Amino acid sequence: MSKRRPFVAGNWKMNGSRAESAALLDGVKAGVSNASKAEVAVCPPFILIPLAAEKLAGSAVAWGGQNLNVNKSGAFTGEISGPMLKDFGCSYVIVGHSERRSLYGESDATVAEKYGAAQAHGLIPILCVGETLAEREGNQTEAVVARQLDAVLAKHGVASLKNAIIAYEPVWAIGTGKTATPQQAQDVHRFIRERIAKQDKGVADAVRILYGGSMKGSNAGELIGQPDIDGGLIGGASLVADEFLAICRAAD
């Protein structure tokens, strides 16, 4: 059993009316208690963060953003900064999600900058890494994940991982209903931990590495039961309270 506290985060992506989100927040809050072993967080779209703050204040569920701008404020139309997220009670922010990398052209260098900006403003970055199907089929999985991780470690140092969470999200498994097998996921999680351990074994042992990619209540237990898998970053299944709570229970 892992000595690290399990962590389950929901990435709502661009989903949810105000009414649907209020019901979802109420449902998640009702199902997660302070006695839960797993730490739980939800990352709604920016516009719903005040609602999350209102609904979740004082509960066992934290909240965070899905992205941030690296600047504090200024002429960046359409953007949201770290201090703004912090002001609305966010504890976490996702950086480097594959959709940001592929649809919005975020490079490893940009992701590393965002990771640093998050930490500079008191937010814990959830750093996403993962390979595409073509990269996996070309035996590039480890090289890709290493490159994405190294960009952050080179800029911010291995000690920065004391205040970060990593999410391994194979791109081919995100939103596809195709989950990595527990062994496939465990192999990459171990690779990531061993790579960090080459720089600092203590940090490697402590850092939480989540799996993301079509995780649901029915497959969460087996995935999170792997020695190097410390929880999940959940997309689709985080939009259904009962499904998300089933994953939280599996992580408990």
Decide if 169 is catalytic.
Answer: yes
Name the residue nearer to ligand PEP (CB basis): 43 or 85. Answer: 43
Using the rule CB under 6 A, give the single segment among 18-26, 134-142, 154-162, 228-236 that binds ligand PEP: 228-236
Using the rule CB under 6 A, give the single segment among 54-62, 101-109, 130-138, 232-240 that binds ligand PEP: 232-240
Using the rule CB under 6 A, give the single segment among 52-60, 131-139, 210-218, 241-249 that binds ligand PEP: 210-218
- Applying CB under 6 A, does 102 fall inside the site for ligand PEP? no
- Applying CB under 6 A, does 125 fall inside the site for ligand PEP? no
Residue 182 CA to residue 177 CA, distance in Å, equals 15
Please identify which of the residues 97, 121, 156, 189 carries the catalytic annotation.
Answer: 97
- Applying CB under 6 A, does 234 fall inside the site for ligand PEP? yes
Residue 165 CA to residue 155 CA, distance in Å, equals 16
Name the residue nearer to ligand PEP (CB basis): 174 or 203. Answer: 174
Minimum distance, C-beta of residue 176 to ligand PEP, in the bound complex (Å)? 7
Please identify which of the residues 106, 121, 169, 189 carries the catalytic annotation.
Answer: 169
Decide if 97 is catalytic.
Answer: yes
- Applying CB under 6 A, does 65 fall inside the site for ligand PEP? no
CA 148-150-152 angle, to 5 degrees, is 80
Minimum distance, C-beta of residue 212 to ligand PEP, in the bound complex (Å)? 3
Q: Which residues are catalytic?
A: 97, 169
